[in-house]
Amino acid sequence: MDALKVVVFGALNAGKTTFVERLSGNELFLKGEYEDITTSFDFVQIEQGGFLIHLFASPGHRRFSFMWETLATGMDGAILLIDSTVGITPVDFELIKFIEGYDVPYVIAANKEDISRLDPEAIRAELNLSGDIPIFNTSALNDDDLASFMDNLINEITGKNK
Ligand SMILES: Nc1nc2c(ncn2[C@@H]2O[C@H](COP(=O)(O)OP(=O)(O)OP(=O)(O)O)[C@@H](O)[C@H]2O)c(=O)[nH]1
Ligand SMILES: [Mg+2]
């Protein structure tokens, strides 16, 4: 089975760890060793769309952002999680620029929609994104439809959305 590497980026507490755990149904081994924030390179594996996906949750804390480049090395696609309870922050602008530097498909999720919801088109306008970047609302906590969200990214990576 072909393997894909996908990395979830986003601001501190946006829900990256919760997202990968819910998708895989497994807990990360190495999470939360420091005040519950991600400080490691841990990942889960999921099988979807005929691919084995290595799904990494990156650290959101500024102190650990030095790990982003290592995580991004060799990635096939990325997810940017925005914390809808906070809105778009400077780190989201920074991460968009960072991800775009790798020239891989990415999708955006405005997470925590169970608490508050951001309008995808307002996000697109604020981040100045082209029309072909998919933007969704998700709840990593209680969404049962994260798999179809991932399908969309897989289709972006394999060119099926084109
Ligand atoms: N209500 C709600 N809470 C969420 C959701 N996703 C995550 N959370 C909560 O937000 C907090 C942070 O979640 P994490 O998954 O640790 O966030 P993270 O992005 O991995 O955080 P860092 O790795 O430290 O950057 C936890 O209390 C989660 O339970 C969501 O969709 N809805
Ligand atoms: Mg985390």
pLDDT digits (tens, 9 = 90+) for 23-42: 888 777 666 666 678 888 88
- Residue 21 pLDDT > 80: yes
Long-range contacts of 143-150 (CB under 8 A, 24+ apart): 143/22, 143/113, 146/19, 146/22, 146/23, 147/23, 147/48, 149/107, 149/109, 150/23, 150/46, 150/48, 150/49, 150/53
Question: Rounded to whole angstroms, how far apart are CA atoms 1 and 96?
Answer: 30
pLDDT-derived band of residue 147, with 50, 70 and 90 as boundaries? confident
Q: Which whole number is the average pLDDT over 66-79?
A: 97
Q: Which residue has the tokens 């994104």?
A: 129
- Residue 74 pLDDT > 80: yes
Choice from 9, 17, 24 to test ligand 1 binding pocket (greatest atom count within 8 A of CB): 17
Any idea which of 15-29, 83-97, 111-125 has the lowest mean pLDDT?
A: 15-29
Q: Which whole number is the average pLDDT over 147-162?
A: 86
Residue 141 Cβ contacting ligand 1 at under 6 Å: yes
The pLDDT mean for the chain works out to 92
What's the whole-model pTM score? 0.95
Report the separation in Å between the CA atom of 125 and the middle of ligand 1, taken as the mean of its atom positions: 25
Of 157, 112, 132, 140, residue with least CA distance to 24: 140
Portion of the chain with pLDDT greater than 90, in percent: 75
H or E segment to which residue 135 belongs: strand 135-137
Structural domain spans, the chain: 2-158
Domain at 2-158: CATH architecture: 3-Layer(aba) Sandwich (3.40)
- Residue 146 pLDDT > 70: yes
Residue 115 Cβ contacting ligand 1 at under 6 Å: yes
